[in-house]
Chain A
Amino acid sequence: MQHWPRLLVAAFVVVLAAVPLAAPQFWVTLGNYIGLYSIAALGLVLLTGVAGQTSFGQAAFVGLGAYTSAYLTTHYGTSPWLTLAIGLALTAFVALCLGFITLRMKGHYLPLATIAWGISLFYVFGNLEILGGHTGMTGIPALSVAGIDLKNERHYYFLIWIIVLAALWATRNLLDSRPGRAVRALKGGLDMVEAFGVDAARLKIVVFVYAALLACISGWLYAHLQRFVNPTPFGINQGIEYLFMAVVGGAGSVWGAVLGATVITLLKQVLQDILPSLLGQQGNFELIVFGILMVLLLQFARDGLWPWIQRMLPRPRMPPVPDAAPLPARERSRVSGELLSVRKARKQFGGLVAVSDLSFEIREGEILGLIGPNGAGKSTTFALISGALALTSGEVLLRGESIGSRPPYEIARRGIGRTFQHVKLIATMSVLDNVAIGAYLRGATGVVQAALKLDRAEEARTKAEAARAIVRVGLAEHTFDAAGSLPLGKQRIVEIARALACDPALLLLDEPAAGLRYLEKQELARLLRSLKAEGMTILLVEHDMDFVMGLTDRLVVMDFGEKLAEGAPAEIQRDPAVLEAYLGGVA
């Protein structure tokens, strides 16, 4: 039954449409507010639930949208549709500035900055006479669509919910696309996404701006629904409530936004009726319940309520990935010679020299093993090549071009694909989606195209490319399984498939055999040999001597940050210096 989700959405839309036709005024009003809150909360679902960032400034962006339209329509008689565009431009500018300043730093600076910004804007609204001060502005004109005046709340309801559904649709599209996969992967660590060419800081700013724009639309709708604005609904408390909606609903799914907005709005309604009479005082006592509810939810059900509902829904069966033309591929150079050369590379951590003036090169089409005892500097060398660490001095050249100390996403762009020693897959995403992250650099779809579903041709090719990489490494039967459900050995193979999907000239493998069983190691060796036969160049950092000896063309042995020996595996096995380092001079 692959059509279940569509049927459910259709049923939801029918129920939605029935509300203004049949329900009493009270429910229509409530429905309008739930719709407005859903739009703002949807932005936070994307920002908090998916991208792992958070903002308390959502209400301030709602206010920016509302006040822009209120001011321009009442003072200059500007058309509300034009003020929407102006509001969006203004919001995008502010969000870009805030994002640029905070998102390059640790995750907690953005929320703190948004608290400060939310409070500042609240006081600006409240103290500027031209914005009506604390009393606000009245006389905002009603919207009219195709000649129909939307003065009646029942009519306005349709506009709000059409926009909610459109926002849900666009956000869902976005999540299932090239930029969306990268956003979902942000939680897996910046190292990982950057290794596949994603500029993580830029992407986080884009998501923050997207969330702010949704908030702005919500505010614009609010202003023309109420036809009156004052600062109160845009204060920091409302900003916090938006975040609560996203967390209660379930910050990982677009439907969580609607669910969270509904639950919080209805709960607030009920609590405001009950609590004051219960406590014998007037006041916002629902704050107490919301606060305690949130703490309990975070302690016991951090993913919110949506996953509970999702478990009750039937799961659609996934159709096989249809074949499609390959994505543009890198030109393979057929010249043999050096592909990558490390020249006098040096890395110091304070007084500790982890890698000391190391030089070696990797030739086209070979498997080079980098081995050495614990603490020899292998992983540091790997990090210097992949760009995870900056060189203290020396050079790393890829086909003669210096790539040392460049950010990982630029190194990935030049054709280096890598795996991680500690597997970095997104556990909840399917194997297919995980591998498709590898193909990020081979696509060009941007956020707008993705949201409007204009990326289907490229998306089909990306999925087909990922599916081919999965078949190539022999995991076809796991294509749609959640990556986290596979055993470690297979997860390592998924990492290789993901690296292959980026069509690398050089494959860097960081201890791929660690933790594998004997048979899994043999599988892996067979896979690497077949990749070499297809012309792939591979650098293997490894611990397991048996594995390395049978597989590699040449070995570089490191000890104490320096090169101890270099040569064919058979030579290395007889090298006295190597025996000394490994066996402590017994030989």
Chain B
Amino acid sequence: MDLTIAALLTQDGVTNGAIYALLALALVLVFTVTRVIFVPSGEFVAWGTLTLAGLQLGKAPGIVGLLVGMAVVAGAMEAWRALRAGEARRLPRALALWCGIPFVVALLLWQLAPLSLPLPIQVLLALAAVTALGPLLYRVAYQPLAEASVLVLLIVSVALHFAMVGFGLWFFGAEGSRTPAFSSASFTVGAANVSVQSLLVIATSVALIGALALFFGRTLYGKALRATAVNRAGARLCGISPEFAGALTFALAALLCAFCGVLIGPITTIYYDSGFLISLKGFVGAIIGGLASYPVAAGGSLLVGLIESFSSFWASAFKEVIVFTLIIPVLLWRSLTTHHHEEEE
């Protein structure tokens, strides 16, 4: 290995690591606020890429139908709850929220898809479609089980991962897709050839992480989510609805995942089932941070990206094995540094 190759691998590793870091943040966010281990995050990433790829071809992807279907189910669940609680007057607002927004997104997608709009608008459309799915998934699948154990929520997550992989195959087909690079320019720094695309990915990740930090540090909603993460019952007593916190968390997480999808699309060919491995790499990063610390999770993800990139050079066939075996020493270290018994909930 010479310096040029090392520089190239580092650049690849940092670029992928930046994407995994975004994903790891989404996973930590979802876990701390809702105790859900968000396994289907990978499918959100893949659907971000594949929806954008579909829009490039001028097709309204099948995700439109799923949005409408889940909105109808969520609306029915809200209606049922409102009627049972005798609060029919709150129903219109709930329906506007749970059915109205997804319907508008679906309609936009359906109408604008064949127009071959410029790339940035297509990116926005793909982000909107995937983001809208997040809260719907929370409302339909997780919210009825919000008080269940972490274990039950994890099994739900895995079941949803299964279902979404199946839907992904149905909507996007078995062929992989790549989205066009945002920029094909590159320049040379010393021995290294730096691509503008990589810089864009890293810059976007850093900007999103900064935006998240601002959101959590400065806004009321961000503080409400942090409060819920620290103490759900206490936050509830202060008037923060756990349902609202859950839905908002899933919207944010879905948005982050969709961003990952858009960023990773030009780098790797994404298939309907590529998401799982991507999300697990995010998890390795998040676990390095104990599913609790944002900065350590981001750092861990960067490490995952670098290890992946270098092991693909030395032992390409075993790159997944190396990345996932990394979790063992990490867990061992955490296990040895955990002194007291950690009780479930």
Q: Interface on A for B, CB 8 Å cutoff? A: 48, 52-54, 56, 98, 100-102, 104-109, 111-113, 115-117, 119-120, 123-124, 127, 189-191, 200, 236-237, 240, 243-244, 247, 279, 281, 283-295, 298-299, 302, 390
Contact = CB atoms under 8 A, between A and B. Distances in A.
Given A56-B158, A105-B334, A113-B328, A291 B163 contact: yes
Contacts of B283: 112
A190 B151 contact: no
Interface centre among B149, B155, B341 (most CB of A within 10 A): B155
22 contacts: A52-B151, A54-B155, A100-B335, A102-B335, A107-B149, A107-B151, A108-B154, A123-B320, A123-B321, A189-B343, A240-B158, A240-B161, A281-B169, A285-B166, A286-B166, A287-B163, A288-B167, A291-B163, A298-B148, A298-B159, A299-B144, A302-B152
B271 to A, nearest CB: 12
B145 interface: yes
Contacts of B155: 54, 243, 247, 294, 298
Contacts, number: 148
A190 B343 contact: yes
Given A108-B154, A189-B343, A295 B321 contact: no
Given A106-B344, A108-B150, A284 B141 contact: no
Size band of the B side of the interface? Answer: 35 or more
Given A240-B158, A285-B169, A108 B152 contact: no
B331 A106 contact: no
Nearest to B338: A105
Given A105-B342, A285-B170, A287-B163, 7 more contacts: A101-B328, A101-B332, A107-B150, A108-B291, A111-B151, A116-B324, A191-B343
B194 interface: no
Interface in B137-165: 141, 144-145, 148-152, 154-156, 158-165
A288 B169 CA distance: 10
B280 A116 contact: yes
Contacts of A124: 318, 321
Contacts of B126: none
A189 to B, nearest CB: 7
Contacts of A127: 317-318, 321
A240 B161 CA distance: 10
Interface of B: 37, 141, 144-145, 148-152, 154-156, 158-167, 169-170, 173-174, 276-277, 280, 283-284, 287, 291, 317-318, 320-321, 324-325, 327-328, 331-332, 334-335, 338, 340-344
Contact of A281 (B158, B170, B328, B342): B170
A294 B159 contact: yes
A517 B305 CA distance: 63
B335 A283 contact: no
Contacts of A48: 151
B248 to A, nearest CB: 21
B169 A283 contact: yes
A514 to B, nearest CB: 21
A243 to B, nearest CB: 7
Contacts of B343: 189-191
A126 to B, nearest CB: 8
A420 to B, nearest CB: 13
A286 B161 CA distance: 13
B141 A295 contact: yes
A116 B284 contact: yes
A349 B149 CA distance: 27
A411 to B, nearest CB: 14
